[in-house]
Amino acid sequence: MPNLEPFSLYEVGIKSLVLSLKSGTQYEFPDTLANGRANYILFEELIRKITGLKKTSGSDHTASDGTKYEQKAFNDMILYPEDKHDFFQTSASSTFGANNNGPRIKRLLETNDYESALKICRVTGYDHNDFYIYTNTKGFNPTVPLKYLVVPTIDVITNLNPSDPRQISRKLLLAKIKKTIQL
């Protein structure tokens, strides 16, 4: 698959998001690019266009050979350099907040039962994906290029936050980059 080499950082310059009306009027939507609630479908579709992956159920993308990819977003290091933005959600959304397994995992972590929490994360997501595609699209701003990185799931699991198996460190991931490719 093109543009899916693990541990390569791919960069794509983005100018803006524009909606063109039939009348010829155009509107820009910078807040849509920045808002995770609004941008996740847009950036998933863009990754599919760039890579040739296809939309699937269960995971975000699939390759023609059946390989499954899950896409997750982190804050870009240039826009959000603070350490408080380092760890970010990589497990299934059902494992966070008030969602299905969120309260259960929270209780397990409060009692230092990391292995049971990890098991839930594996069953609900990690074990269903071959690769993770990490994008810098959380709080995205086109003053920096779209960046994405492909990581084998085994590397995701072995590099999870030792305090919370739902999270991974962007510093750790970005340190594994072998090369940067401008698209």
Instruction: Summarize pLDDT for 141-173 with one digit per residue, the tens.
Output: 999 999 999 999 999 999 999 999 999 999 999
Token code pair at residue 12: 């794509």
Q: Is residue 12 part of a domain?
A: yes
pLDDT value at 106 more than 70: yes
Residue 6's CB is within 10 A of a number of other CB atoms, namely: 13
pLDDT value at 1 more than 70: no
Q: Which of 1-15, 110-124, 131-145 has the lowest mean pLDDT?
A: 1-15
Percent above pLDDT 70 for the chain: 99
- Beta strand 68-75 pairing with 131-138: parallel
Q: Indicate the pLDDT class of residue 37, thresholds 50, 70 and 90.
A: confident
Q: Is residue 82 part of a domain?
A: yes
How many domains are there within the chain?
1
175-183: average pLDDT: 95
Amino acid 67: pLDDT: 96
Domain coverage including residue 78? 8-182
pLDDT digits (tens, 9 = 90+) for 5-23: 999 999 999 998 999 999 9
Q: Is residue 3 part of a domain?
A: no
> In 3D, which of 157, 164, 179, 161 has the Cα closest to residue 8?
179
Sign for the pseudo-dihedral over CA of 107, 111, 115, 116: negative
Amino acid 115: pLDDT: 96
Q: Is residue 1 part of a domain?
A: no
CA within 13 Å, CB half, 22 = 0
124-154 in b/e form (b: 16+ CB < 10 A) is bbbeebbbbbbbbbbbbeeeeebbbbbbebe
Q: Is residue 64 part of a domain?
A: yes
